[in-house]
Amino acid sequence: MGELTKPSVVAEILERHGIRLSRSLGQHFLVDSNVLNRILEGAELGPGDAVLEIGPGIGTLTEELCERAGRVVAVEVDARLKSVLDEMLGERPNLLTVRGDAMRIDLAGFFSPQERVKVVSNLPYNVATPLLLRIMRELPQARLLVVTVQRELADRYLASPGEPSYGAVSVKVQFLARPRRLAQLAPTVFLPPPRVGSTLLRLERVGPVPGTDYVRSFFLFLDACFSNRRKMLVNALGGGRRPYRSREEVASALRELGLPPTARAEELSLRELLGLHRLLGP
């Protein structure tokens, strides 16, 4: 395992380049070789894999990805770190480093439709959820994701109906992939240490990637369902100035699914919410 997991080495590199890490960009570098190994084990990389890494920093994870995968695309938003990354890793035939915002650039354009893509990344804390959902929606080649996120976010992704953390994000993630917790991570495995704990997650696709229009429609429906957690669905979807559907239509759909008229979104499973969306339409 490389020198880049040592805090003293990372600190020296950053000081030499005059770089102070930005919490606003969610920059926390991994400095623990055991966790690095867990990430690589979870990704199960081979020479036939192409890898997308978001936020490579100084290349701690990138270096190991290049040793194991056939091709690596590393996207870095910070121009200062892009320069350091190029210096630390040098010219590697299987590495493409990209300066850009992963929330804006065409991620799918870096891969052919036939490539077997895996996303392996310490996701920037500030955009983890929208970035994760964007990757799963817009990069159909990606069948496996192994990522680190804040523990609170991981709890939401993994939550089941009736649990306090269960909400629209839980359903969206579980609609697109099957999440599994690989490890809980202490703040001390990162430099600088974040204020919260983190979680290493593995997310596997559960089937063909749904069509873009269908995903957009279902996500808008979920936002309406969970717009007010305390409201019954007949009011959440059938009330307000711009109701999703009439109260009568929502009540009828609930009856058809065998659900009580007092049902709330946080009580319903993914399967039940899909059924309700199917009956109510986009």
Mean pLDDT of the chain: 93
Contact (Cβ atoms closer than 8 angstroms) between residue 264 and residue 233: yes
The CATH 3.40.50.150 domain(s) of the chain lie at 3-205
pLDDT at 27: 82
pLDDT at 202: 98
CATH of domain 212-280: 1.10.8.100
> E strands, 151-233, where?
177-185, 190-191, 198-205
Q: What's the pLDDT at 186?
A: 97
The answer to whether the CB of 145 falls within 8 A of the CB of 132 is yes
Between residues 241 and 108, the one the model is more confident about = 108
Would you say residue 281 has pLDDT above 90? no
For the segment 207-247, what is each residue's pLDDT rounded down to a tens digit? 888 899 999 999 999 999 999 878 999 999 998 778 899 99
Mean pLDDT to the nearest integer, 98-116: 95
Q: Which CATH superfamily is domain 3-205 in?
A: Vaccinia Virus protein VP39 (3.40.50.150)
- Which of 32-41, 81-90, 110-119, 158-167 is the least confident region? 81-90
Would you say 107 and 52 are in contact if contact means Cβ atoms under 8 Å apart? yes
Query: What is the C-alpha separation between 118 and 112, in angstroms, rounded?
Result: 13
Q: How far is residue 185's CA from residue 90's CA, in Å, rounded to a whole number? A: 30
pLDDT band at 70 (very low <50, low <70, confident <90, very high): very high
Residue range(s) occupied by CATH 1.10.8.100 in the chain: 212-280
pLDDT tens-digit map of 22-59: 777 778 899 999 999 999 999 999 999 999 999 999 99
Helix (H) or strand (E) holding 206: none
Contacts of 279 (CB under 8 A, 6+ apart): 253, 256, 257
Residue 2 scores a pLDDT above 70 = no
pLDDT in tens, 165-200: 999 999 999 999 999 999 999 999 999 899 899 999
What b/e readout covers 184-202, taking b as 16+ CB neighbours within 10 angstroms?
ebeeebbbeebeeebbbbb
The pLDDT confidence band at residue 1, using thresholds 50, 70 and 90, is low
pLDDT at position 90, please? 85
Residues 6+ apart with CB under 8 A from 125: 26, 28, 149, 150, 194
pLDDT of residue 34: 96
Of all residues in the chain, the percent with pLDDT exceeding 70 is 99
d(CA 6, CA 30): 9
Q: Read off the pLDDT of residues 137-155 as tens digits, 9 standing for 90 and up.
A: 999 999 999 999 999 999 9
